[in-house]
Amino acid sequence: MAEQAPSRCTGGRGAAGGVGTLAHTGPCTPEELLRPVTPSQVNAQLAVRVGRAEAAVRRHVPTRQLTQLQFDELLSYTYNAGNAGALAALRSANQSNDAGVVSHMSQRVWIHPRVANGRRLAPVRSTGLVNRRRLESAPFQPQQGAQ
């Protein structure tokens, strides 16, 4: 994995470790701000979240036979969008509606920045999320030359 992130309490919303994996939610204590989050804490939370995402894909796509690549990308999308956020794409996948999968994935590319006092700003289209969604939706795109 090329992404790296600090493994410490970030202050506002919880202790982050690895790449956006929370060790816990809620404000960090002054002691937590000084103490690193251990790799085992990060890995434990990552395993839990991946397990939940995998269970959601299996639960919401029970009738369609997915390729390994389709399953992997639905898992990635569900992990990143959350089980509720991925539900429309998962339902489309189960109905073999590949265009619907691509459409739903392509819509989740907006972030909501906040100012220092926590006030939410207008949504901003994230180039990083656009690129991620392009990769995640690729196995559901029509193949060139397919009839």
What's the pLDDT score for residue 22? 55
Sequence letter at residue 33: L
The predicted pLDDT at position 21 comes to 54
Neighbour count for residue 17 (Cβ, 10 Å): 26
> How far is residue 118 from each of residues 9, 13, 139, measured CA to CA in Å?
18, 11, 38
Residue spans of the domains in the chain: they are: 65-140
Q: For residues 45-74, give the mean pLDDT.
A: 96
Query: Per residue in 3-30, pLDDT tens?
Result: 444 455 555 554 444 445 555 566 777 8
Residue given tokens 């982050």 in the structure block? 16
**How many of the other CB atoms lie within 10 Å of CB of 23?**
20
DSSP annotation of 28:
P
Higher pLDDT, 41 or 72: 72
Is residue 21 within 8 A of residue 49, CB to CB? The reply is: yes
